[in-house]
Amino acid sequence: MNQRMDPHTVDRLRAIAETRRFGVDTYLCTQGKPGDCCYLLLAGEVEVRRAIGAEVLAVARLGPGELVGQLALVDGGARAASVVVVVPVTALVLTRDVFETLRQSHSPLALHFQRHVALAGIRQLRHATAHLARLQLQRAHQPGGEPLLRRDRRVATITLAGLSELSVDLQALARELEATEPPP
């Protein structure tokens, strides 16, 4: 389910969003801070990092066609993770106003964008779950793995709480999309 936004939609979004370039080590999003925009990556790569206590985990690496930072705009909450540029990035910057206009509109572009937001959230949920499972397996097989397993259970509890919130947000978005689907 690694569906990227199609080039025609990207071209249409360029008309309403600013294109910007970001250098390596630039933070597009900082965990815990409010979100005022999201980014559609056109080129380059970012790493999604989640701080849990004193430990920072790299949970995903995303590239062209991926949407990042949208969850804080969907739910109005703080950023769930930090997003750091690892290969110079060119991105469309979708401000909260543009995002809300697209979210509330019934135009074909807006509906396609809304579906992409929902799919990006689902993809991120699946990736986070798989990453957590891999991490737990790796730690369980290390010497002295029992203390690590206890810590991993704590990490899992925190992660599952975040995933549960994401699931609720995605269900609400799916209901909104169904309600805004134009009649055939």
Question: For residue 133, is it within any domain?
Answer: yes
169-181 exposure pattern, b = at least 16 Cβ within 10 A, e = fewer? bbeebeeeeeeee
Question: For residue 112, is it within any domain?
Answer: yes
pTM value is 0.68
In contact, 117 and 74? CB cutoff 8 Å = yes
Quote the pLDDT of residue 90. 97
What is the separation, in whole angstroms, between the first and last Cα of the chain? 26
Question: For residue 2, is it within any domain?
Answer: no
Which CATH number do you get for residue 34?
Answer: 2.60.120.10
For residue range 118-157, list pLDDT tens digits in order: 777 676 677 666 766 777 667 666 676 565 556 666 666 6
Kindly give the residue spans of alpha helices, DSSP state H, lying in the chain.
7-14, 71-75, 96-104, 108-140, 145-180
Quote the pLDDT of residue 33. 95
Confidence of residue 1 (pLDDT cuts 50, 70, 90): very low
Residue 128, CB-side half-sphere exposure with 13 Å CA sphere: 24
Quote the pLDDT of residue 50. 86
Residues of the domain holding 119: 7-180
In contact, 29 and 83? CB cutoff 8 Å = yes
DSSP 8-class letter at 79: -
Domain count, the chain: 1
Question: For residue 1, is it within any domain?
Answer: no
For residue range 69-124, list pLDDT tens digits in order: 888 887 788 898 899 999 999 999 999 898 888 877 777 777 777 777 777 767 66
